[in-house]
Amino acid sequence: MKITLVLEQNLFPLHDGLRKQVWFHALSLRKQHPKSDIQIINIAQGNRVQDEISIIGRRWWNMFFFRTDILHYFGSPSPIVAGLLLFSGYKKAFLSITDGAVSEFWKSVFSRQSVFLIRRKVSRIFYFTEYQRNILATYFDTSILCRVLPYIEHFTPIKEKSPHPRLLFMSHLSKHKGIDVVLEAYVRVLSRYPNLELVVADSWLQHKNAKYYEQIDSINNRGGHIVVKKQIEPQEELSESWIYLYTFTEVVNTMAVPISLYEAIGCQTLFISSDIWGVSEYFPEELLLFKIETDLLVEKIFYILEKYSEISLLHKLQVPDEVSTDLIFRYYIAK
């Protein structure tokens, strides 16, 4: 059986975001069903083989023309779905909807055509949260909607936790990512925990964030311990940190649980997350911020630092990758 997984973005680096989810899925399929021919098509240049999985790079206008037994698209409800369903050769098609401005997308004329194609040609649409399902159910028969759990890698943390309390902010520095609130909260928590460190992994260029770098320098000049890093290995930073801060301030109309939270779980790292999308379906209230305000974030950080050894990460998301993969594979082979 030939299985083709399609990703609208460049697959590399494998440790980042949706790329990691697709790669986990491919590895799990290879492990459980070694006789299957598995390939990944993504928008990129060049081809390669890794762990016996073919990774094929194509330009977007040329990524539709292939033949396979199983077509499985991962990503947002993009116009590319229509091209895949119209021009690719396949026996069965599946979608895993992970993010995207769903309601706005489906309102356009082109998206209505996509909905029509999906209704005719797709066997199953996989979703992760009830939030996703409620949106999808307004466009598709619920009989084709199937819930699966996201794939989480379980491994021994790369490094031991820092000896001093460490917070981690891992995103570009912008107001809608919550960096303003994080820096304000850090200064206040520092008064009680003078050795508290804050690692800021900035994924944008420094010249775009000049005001935040000036603010960070000012805090450090007053006794702060903020370290700014550019290129990082997420697992390594998460392994060392005590608390990962995911402080999204603008709730856009998307549907995914942030993949960086799954990575934190794999690293046995606690987190404080905005209550966005389907997050509250899986995680306890003590780890969630229902409103991104400095006072509330300070309160959560104090609570976790004081109760650190007592808080457990046990929750429904801790399942082996193979559980979800095997469920999907059964749909692949069903008549």
As a whole-number percent, the residues of the chain with pLDDT over 90 amount to 37
Tell me which CATH homologous superfamily contains domain 166-310. Glycogen Phosphorylase B; (3.40.50.2000)
Given pLDDT bands bounded at 50, 70 and 90, which one contains residue 158?
A: low
Mean per-residue pLDDT, 169-176: 86
Mean pLDDT for 2-25 is: 80
Q: What pLDDT does residue 295 have?
A: 96
Share of the chain above pLDDT 70, in %: 84
Number of other residues whose CB lies within 10 A of the CB of residue 209: 19
Domain ranges of the chain: 2-151+319-333, 166-310
Q: Is the pLDDT of residue 317 over 60?
A: no
Domains 2-151+319-333 and 166-310 share a fold: yes
- What pLDDT score does 155 carry? 47
Tens of pLDDT, residues 242-272: 999 999 876 554 455 677 887 787 788 889 9
Give residue-wise pLDDT tens across range 98-116. Answer: 765 556 666 676 677 788 8
| Each residue's pLDDT tens digit, 191-231 | 999 999 999 987 655 556 788 989 999 999 999 999 998 87
Token pair of 99, please?
A: 């993010």
Bridge pairing between strands 37-43 and 2-7: parallel
Adjacent-strand bridge partners of 54: 39, 49
Q: In the predicted model, what is the mean pLDDT of the chain?
A: 83
Q: Domain spanning 2-151+319-333: which CATH class is it, in words? A: alpha beta
Helix axis angle for 321-333 and 17-32, nearest 10°, is: 70
Structure tokens at 143: 């009989």
pLDDT of residue 253: 46
